[in-house]
Amino acid sequence: MNVFYKLGCRIFQKVMWCAMWFLPWNQNKGTLSGSGSVKELPKFLKDKGFKSILIVTDGGLYKLGMADPILAACEQEGMKGCVYHDVVPNPTIDNIEDGLALYKENDCDVIVALGGGSAMDCAKGIGARVARPNKTIPKMKGVLKVGKKLPPLVAIPTTSGTGSEATLAAVISNPETHEKYPINDPVLIPRYVVMDPDLTKSLPLHITSTTGMDALTHAVEAYIGGENTGRTKKDAVQAIRLINDNLKKAYDNGADLEARNNMQQAAYLAGKAFTRAYVGYVHAVAHTLGGEYGVPHGLANAVILPVVLRAYGKSAHKKLAKLADVIGLQGETRAEKANAFIKWIEDLNASMNIPTRILTREGEQLIQEERLPKMIEHALQEANPLYPCPQVWGKQEIEKIYRAIM
């Protein structure tokens, strides 16, 4: 790759790091936590003067009755509540526009995201369109393109992994172009967060595992990147420690509320870390798999993470060795410790039946050769020059990652 291109990426990242100190990060104004806390939300909002709630969720959670306690509490408090429940796993522009129409029809003044990252991304997109009614979602793609205060956004995570309850990002899919891209702006950080471990105790095993590995990816990529602060390092380290101690426990026993609660905290801390320090090439590649083939984001991250970390080589050894120390892994040198940390990730994946390749359900190759050039291009457009990875990569390096997981 051209040395001047690499230098340009690093200069851009340094400028962004300096600019970050001037952005409005303190969007969160309060949290509710503990078993049953979701039922307290309507009164909490009513006391702050809100009157009409739009709940944004997916069809599966809606059929399970996850929104019912909130709606019942709304009725009890004399508030209006409505539900948009058609969010798809990789939320689309159409999802956002449909949710926006329901928001307007019911004169809503607050948006409640109930679910995993998809519901939260959709809710953030709806909020962005409320704030910028004359600006389409594609025009808000990238960094600091919203620029206006959103209506109050409440995040209620039902998985422990996306960290969307703490982040400035909304990832949206465009079905027409098969593109999946982030909108990044501090105004998208939810104003209130509800962490109720009861909502996560019945998660299927594969959701518990892949969302947990999603949180781990957020923490690791944030930590090894070049735009850290003392706060983001602390949050990332604490998240990794909590994941090491609790993810397998939550996987083995879904009713372990202590492990579930700790995983919620881990996801939140990892979200806080990466929304300030950014992610890296793992996410850039994972987003293309979601946009092109609908691969669940947590699964993609889990498979790609150890592959990318190994590909970084010596450039990531120092920080990965420190993470190995955090969870008590042994090694005589930085390289040994770094490789032990990567092996720990691979072993954790294997213990939860996460595969080492991205394949079809029948076990055949999913990624098609003819679509690979476009995916490589999209991954690079997302990552460069924004993501402060240990190395600046070009097409050849990204192609190697795809071929390693095909």
| pLDDT tens track for 336-379 | 999 999 999 999 999 999 999 999 988 899 999 999 999 999 99
192 and 209 inside one domain: no
pLDDT category of residue 272 using cuts at 50, 70 and 90: very high
190 and 256 inside one domain: no
Where would I find the H helices in 59-179?
59-63, 68-77, 93-105, 117-131
Tokens at residue 41, please? 């939300």
CATH code, domain carrying 101: 3.40.50.1970
319 and 363 inside one domain: yes
Please tell me the predicted confidence (pLDDT) of residue 236. 98
Q: What is the pLDDT of residues 129-169, one digit of tens each?
A: 999 999 999 999 988 899 899 999 999 999 999 898 998 98
Q: What is the mean pLDDT of the chain?
A: 94
68 and 195 inside one domain: yes
Of 199, 219, 250, which residue sits at a domain end? 199
Please tell me the predicted confidence (pLDDT) of residue 29. 78
Pairing of strands 169-174, 179-184: antiparallel
| CA 366 to each of CA 45, 91, 93: distance values in angstroms, whole numbers, following the listed order | 45, 21, 25
Of 172, 199, 226, which residue sits at a domain end? 199
8 A C-beta contact, residue 153 and residue 191: yes
Please tell me the predicted confidence (pLDDT) of residue 383. 96
41 and 171 inside one domain: yes
Round to whole Å and give the CA distance between 154 and 112: 5
In a domain, 242, yes or no: yes
Peptide bond into 385 cis (omega under 30): yes
Give the pLDDT mean for 184-213: 93
213 and 138 inside one domain: no
146 and 247 inside one domain: no
CATH code, domain carrying 215: 1.20.1090.10
Please tell me the predicted confidence (pLDDT) of residue 20. 86
Please tell me the predicted confidence (pLDDT) of residue 171. 87
- Within the chain, how many helices (H) and strands (E) appear? 15, 9
In a domain, 131, yes or no: yes
223 and 284 inside one domain: yes
pTM score, two decimals?
0.88
pLDDT category of residue 243 using cuts at 50, 70 and 90: very high
In a domain, 1, yes or no: no
Residue range(s) defining the domain that contains residue 59: 25-199
Round to whole Å and give the CA distance between 127 and 281: 28
Of 146, 179, 199, which residue sits at a domain end? 199
In a domain, 11, yes or no: no
Percent of the chain with pLDDT over 70: 100
In a domain, 210, yes or no: yes
In a domain, 19, yes or no: no
171 and 230 inside one domain: no
Give the pLDDT mean for 276-294: 93
Please tell me the predicted confidence (pLDDT) of residue 1. 65
Number of domains in the chain: 2
8 A C-beta contact, residue 218 and residue 163: yes
pLDDT category of residue 214 using cuts at 50, 70 and 90: very high
Please tell me the predicted confidence (pLDDT) of residue 307. 98
Q: What is the pLDDT of residues 55-105, one digit of tens each?
A: 999 999 999 999 999 999 999 999 999 999 999 988 999 999 999 999 999
292 and 253 inside one domain: yes
Q: Tell whether the model's pLDDT for residue 182 goes beyond 90.
A: no
B/e letters for 226-250, b = 16+ CB within 10 Å, e = fewer, are: ebbeeebbebbbbbbbbbbebbbeb
Please tell me the predicted confidence (pLDDT) of residue 145. 94
Round to whole Å and give the CA distance between 351 and 298: 16
Q: What is the pLDDT of residues 327-337, one digit of tens each?
A: 999 999 999 99
194 and 238 inside one domain: no
| CA 288 to each of CA 54, 161, 212: distance values in angstroms, whole numbers, following the listed order | 30, 19, 20
The residue written with tokens 């230098």 in the block is 7
Q: Which residues pair with 80 in a beta bridge?
A: 52
In a domain, 9, yes or no: no
pLDDT category of residue 116 using cuts at 50, 70 and 90: confident
217 and 364 inside one domain: yes
In a domain, 189, yes or no: yes
| Residues 6 or more apart whose Cβ sits within 8 Å of residue 238 | 266, 269
